[in-house]
Amino acid sequence: MNVVKIGQFIKELRKEKSFTQKEVAERLNVSEKTVSKWETGRGLPDLGYMLPLCKLFGISTNELLSGERLNDRQYVEKAEENIASLVSDRTSPRKKVIVSTVSCVMATLSSLALVLISAYFINELWLRLVLIGIAVMVVVSDVAVILLVAVSTEIYECERCGEKFVPGLSAYLFAPHTFRRRYLKCPFCKKKSWDKSHLKK
């Protein structure tokens, strides 16, 4: 899969529609920087953004991943190639969640051990503060890892229109939420609702 070619194709499609990067970003509920990253070939759109992007430009996901418009014969050939490439490039979201959860539990136990050691076995105040500082940094990094894994593995289904989408990082972090739902603005119907999260396939 040629990321640079895909980026160039996205840029051409945007220009065909006479959209600016900002307009594409607003329609997909992403940052302008993200659209620029796609167009310059520094990254692929996440799976959750591919369908809205294809819908916006009137192309298929197969054409997007091929970086060109396809005729009927090419379509079948490229479909198999693109599916194989996606499967090999993606780690299972469920596996990511399990690995990150286990590593975060281990890190949290380690930070708790550091706090207990500093409280009961260390007499020097400065050494206690250093150990507690390390424990706090470990907990903060745990939270960061959990958030990054959640953002990269969850997709949301709009309660109003039923479309699936991936929210931007700021929307994900600051939106009111429960364990399985977030109050998000859908990039399709442009309305806010309590959308249910699912693991990406």
The token duo for 8 is: 């160039």
Closest among 163, 160, 194, 159 to 28, alpha carbons compared: 163
Tens of pLDDT, residues 93-113: 666 666 667 666 777 777 888
- Kindly give, in sequence order, each residue whose CB lies less than 8 Å from that of residue 83, ignoring residues fewer than 6 positions away: none
Chain centre distance of CA 185: 16
Q: What is the pLDDT of residue 86?
A: 53
pLDDT tops 50 at residue 88: no
Chain centre distance of CA 24: 18
Tens of pLDDT, residues 132-191: 888 888 777 777 777 777 777 788 999 999 888 888 778 888 889 888 899 999 988 989
Instruction: Mark 51-75 as b/e (b = at least 16 C-beta within 10 Å).
Output: bbbbebbebeebbbbbbbebeeeee
Amino acid at 2: N
70 within 8 A of 54, measured Cβ to Cβ: no
Tens of pLDDT, residues 50-76: 888 988 998 887 788 888 887 766 655
The residue ranking higher by pLDDT, 34 or 46, is 34
DSSP string, 129-144: HHHHHHHHHHHHHHHH
Question: What residues are paired with 157 via a beta bridge?
Answer: 164, 196
This prediction has a pTM of 0.45
Question: What residues are paired with 196 via a beta bridge?
Answer: 157, 181
167 within 8 A of 184, measured Cβ to Cβ: yes
- Distance, in Å, from the CA atom of 79 to the CA atom of 89, rounded to the nearest integer, reads 15
